[in-house]
Structure 1
């Protein structure tokens, strides 16, 4: 029986630079850092409030095909890879703190039916969603909101 999600992979350009971004900028802690052979490094970070969930920072490479690696690198260069959603307690304040650290914003904090949401990029171009959640009231949804 599956009991939880424990690892989510995030494709990055450079492991050391991404480790610094996720720890120094976002406040995650370094998890595992193991060199497995000459061409593969297993690197994880985790949030101190949720240590059971690891973000596996990884670069496109073997055993993926060279065509897939190239496609992923193009998507990274275009900022087209999704990242993860991060819960925040105060979206506006968190955004001010991250802006002071040089984080790139794709969307300023905006009210949504489920809370206040902002979009940022990590240093590899991945989209990260910041959400200050609120109780979802179905009355707040209209057909226009559902697309």
Structure 2
């Protein structure tokens, strides 16, 4: 069986992204390596009880491929990744209290309730909850 082991999110600043994804969103650090020359290799994952084998690579988003891709996705208002949550409304309220900006308040979208937040490092991120 093939399973997703790691996926990436291009970010403006790896250290700032690491702080946001752990301190604000609640992910745990899985890997944090200084590769030298100011380059960090950082992965985060869901906290205990989540998806232990799945990691999110916070990847530097500068360069001839990443820059145009990120700009086009953001300008289109599309999230770069979707995170599943048990209660979108509760996460929305928790994150707003922490100062997180949203480009889409919770709303029904087909079989889901979704909200879209700004991750402060160049991306839009969607939170999704299946409707009962």
Q: Does the pair score TM above 0.5? A: yes
Distance, in Å, in 2 between the alignment partners of 1:72 and 1:113 is 27
Match of residue 117 from structure 1: 114
Match of residue 59 from structure 1: 60
**Which structure 2 segments of 5+ residues have no match?**
none
Match status 1:132 vs 2:114: no
How high is the TM-score relative to the length of structure 2?
A: 0.84
Choose from 89, 93, 100 the match for 1:92.
89
**Which structure 1 segments of 5+ residues have no match?**
136-147
- Specify the structure having the higher radius of gyration (Cα): 1
Distance, in Å, in 2 between the alignment partners of 1:124 and 1:116 is 24
Provide the aligned C-alpha RMSD in A: 2.3
Choose from 72, 82, 102 the match for 1:105.
102
Match of residue 145 from structure 1: none
Match status 1:20 vs 2:19: yes
Name the count of aligned residue pairs.
128
- The C-alpha deviation readout for 1:73-125, integer Å capped at 9, x for no partner, is 7x29x944742111111111110000011111111111122121111110113
